[in-house]
């Protein structure tokens, strides 16, 4: 079957087509091969980097311009396929920015009605998890696992601009939230600290780049809640610690920016890895899955793989390719394939507050 995915929860406008050899998964823990046929993304990021953050109305106005060309392009990129060859439409219904979500949801509903295709509403957070099920996983140095090899139970770490969550997946229908951030998400911390360091938006990739030449030993920042007895996170204290350091300085040299960036990156990565492995051990999982924009961070990817291999060698670690970690529509189509529940178009609504439970 072929599913057209549509994603517009934040500043990106995405459309993708996935193809599977089997009927959609409606229950259980079965895994099937999902092939990515086309993947198109338009971003208004350059507009937001000028303002140091996303302006919701600007994002939605841009998405209205992009959405139809992006969907057209995603279908055109599927050699010799026509709309008749698409079996279903999957769309992100939340969480996200309401204006942005509405662009994708209303477009998907209209297409579902006109083309007479089933439509499946998808939770964006589940999408980040299902990025792991799209094609082959990233082979960061040692790993060559295939998506269809993912075994349950699994623990997923979802780290994005708005979320930092650990969830336990017993099978496609049984997903239990274990813990999440009590304040800023990891990506949000990167973005806010990036701003304190005068780095361009988004802060995550900018801090990663600056950290390459930094010394992690020059600044020692807190690793919030690393020893707490739960699976919760907190990153606002880290931001405050950086704020205090920066405020006490007369001038912020490139060398100091690099040193702070390296220590911040290390603090965030250490906490994320420690808690993820703790959850994996507690629930004796067979797989660890990474998802979300922060999952594109090379240090997080490398160290998560190394620590898993070294500390819990019987657990497989899955890391999607970087373009599948940041927002995209392929993961939304994959999530719909594995949780195939079409809903009448009239009953689908955008829900900015949607969560895991």
Residues at the site binding ligand KG4, with contacts judged by CB under 6 A: 10, 160-162, 187, 190-191, 202-205, 208, 292-294, 296-297, 326-327
In DSSP notation, 250-296 reads: S---HHHHHHHHHHHHHHHHHHHHHHHHHHHHHTT-SEEEEESGGGG
Task: Pick one of Zn ion, ligand KG4, none as the site partner of residue 208 (Cβ within 5 to 8 A by kind).
Answer: ligand KG4
Closer by beta carbon to ligand KG4, 57 or else 76: 57
Measured in degrees and rounded to the nearest 5, phi and psi for residue 245 equal: -60, -50
Which residue, 8 or 160, is less far from Zn ion as judged by CB?
160
Q: Select from Zn ion, ligand KG4, none the partner in contact with residue 232, using the beta carbon and a kind-dependent cut-off of 5 to 8 Å.
A: none
**Those residues with Cβ within 8 angstroms of residue 166's Cβ, 6 or more apart along the chain or in another chain:** 155, 156, 157, 158, 177, 178, 179, 180, 231, 275, 276, 279
Q: In the complex, what is the shortest distance from the CB of residue 250 to Zn ion, in angstroms, rounded to a whole number?
A: 38
Q: How far is the CB of 343 from ligand KG4 (least distance, A)?
A: 23
Nearer to ligand KG4, 14 or 135 (CB): 14
Q: Of the two residues 97 and 267, which places its CB atom closer to Zn ion in the complex?
A: 97
Q: Would residue 47 be called left, alpha or beta, if left means φ above 0 and alpha means ψ between -120 and 50 degrees?
A: alpha
The closest alpha carbon to 349, from 61, 104, 89, belongs to 104
**Helix, strand or coil, per DSSP, at residue 27:** coil
Q: How far is the CB of 36 from ligand KG4 (least distance, A)?
A: 17
Comparing CB distances to ligand KG4, the nearer of 25 and 258 is: 258
Angle between helices 203-211 and 298-311 (to 10 degrees): 70
190 binds, among Zn ion, ligand KG4, none (CB under 5 to 8 A by kind): ligand KG4
Alpha carbon dihedral 119, 25, 173, 339, in 10-degree steps, equals -20
Is 24 or 291 the residue whose CB approaches ligand KG4 more closely? 291
Q: Which of ligand KG4, Zn ion, none does 339 bind, CB closer than 5 to 8 A by kind?
A: none
From the list 272, 335, 334, the residue with the least C-alpha distance to 305 is 272
Neighbours of 198 (CB within 10 A): 11
E strand or H helix that includes residue 158: strand 154-159
The CA–CA distances, whole Å, from 286 to 168, 279, 315, 323 equal 11, 12, 5, 25
Whichever of 204 and 320 has its CB closer to ligand KG4, that residue is: 204
Nearest to 33 by CA among 135, 122, 132, 120: 135
Quote the tokens at residue 246.
Answer: 């920066």
Provide, rounded to whole angstroms, the least separation between the CB of residue 347 and ligand KG4: 25
CB-wise, 131 or 277, nearer to Zn ion? 131
Of the pair 62, 327, the CB lying nearest Zn ion is at 327
Q: Which does 297 bind (CB under 5 to 8 A by kind): Zn ion, ligand KG4, none?
A: ligand KG4
Binding site partner of 19, from ligand KG4, Zn ion, none, Cβ cut-off 5-8 A by kind: none
> From the CB of 45, what's the least distance to ligand KG4, in Å?
10
At closest approach, how far in Å is the CB of 32 from ligand KG4?
A: 25
User: What minimum distance in Å lies between the beta carbon of 271 and ligand KG4?
Assistant: 14
Q: How many angstroms separate the Cα of 24 from the Cα of each of 51, 92, 94, 99?
A: 42, 18, 22, 30
For the bound state, the minimum distance from the C-beta of residue 27 to Zn ion, rounded and expressed in Å, comes to 26
How many CB atoms within 10 Å of residue 11? 25
Question: Binds 191, which of Zn ion, ligand KG4, none (CB < 5 to 8 A, cut-off by type)?
Answer: ligand KG4
Identify what 204 binds: Zn ion, ligand KG4, none; CB under 5 to 8 Å per kind.
Answer: ligand KG4
Residues within the interface to Zn ion (CB under 5 A) = 160, 327
Name the token pair of 113: 């009605």
Min CB(158)–ligand KG4 separation in Å? 8
The one of ligand KG4, Zn ion, none whose footprint includes residue 320, by CB under 5 to 8 A per kind, is none
Angle formed by the axes of helices 236-247 and 254-282, nearest 10°: 160
């Amino acid at each position: 079957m072929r599913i057209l995915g549509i994603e517009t929860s934040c500043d990106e406008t995405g459309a993708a087509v996935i193809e599977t050899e089997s009927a959609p998964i409606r229950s259980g823990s079965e895994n099937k091969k999902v092939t990515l046929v086309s993947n198109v993304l338009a971003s208004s990021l350059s507009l937001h980097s000028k303002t140091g953050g996303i302006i919701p109305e600007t994002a939605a106005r841009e998405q209205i311009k992009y959405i139809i060309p992006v969907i057209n392009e995603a279908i055109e990129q599927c050699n010799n396929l026509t709309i008749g060859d698409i079996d279903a439409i999957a769309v992100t219904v939340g969480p996200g920015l309401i204006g942005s979500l509405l662009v994708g949801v209303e477009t998907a509903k209209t297409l579902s009605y006109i083309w007479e295709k089933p439509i499946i509403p998808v939770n964006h957070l589940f999408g980040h998890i299902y990025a792991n099920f799209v094609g082959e996983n990233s082979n960061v140095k040692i790993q060559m696992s295939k998506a269809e090899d993912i075994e349950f139970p699994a623990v997923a770490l979802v780290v994005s601009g708005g979320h930092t969550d650990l969830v336990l997946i017993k099978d496609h229908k049984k997903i239990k939230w274990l813990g999440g951030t009590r304040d800023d998400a990891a990506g949000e911390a990167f973005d806010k600290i990036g701003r304190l360091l005068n780095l361009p938006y988004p802060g995550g990739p900018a801090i990663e780049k600056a950290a390459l030449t930094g010394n992690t030993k020059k600044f020692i920042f807190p690793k919030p809640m690393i020893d707490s007895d739960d699976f919760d996170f907190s990153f606002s204290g880290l931001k405050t610690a950086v704020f205090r350091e920066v405020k006490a300085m007369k001038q912020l040299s490139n060398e100091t920016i690099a040193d702070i960036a390296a220590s911040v990156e290390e603090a965030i990565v250490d906490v994320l890895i420690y808690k993820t492995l703790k959850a994996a051990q507690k629930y004796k999982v067979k797989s660890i899955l990474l998802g979300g924009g922060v999952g594109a961070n090379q240090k997080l990817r490398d160290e998560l793989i190394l620590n898993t291999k070294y500390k819990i060698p019987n657990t497989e670690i899955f890391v999607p390719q970087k373009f599948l970690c940041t927002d995209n529509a392929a993961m939304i189509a994959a999530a719909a394939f594995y949780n195939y529940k079409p809903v009448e178009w009239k009953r689908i609504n955008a829900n900015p507050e949607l969560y895991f439970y």
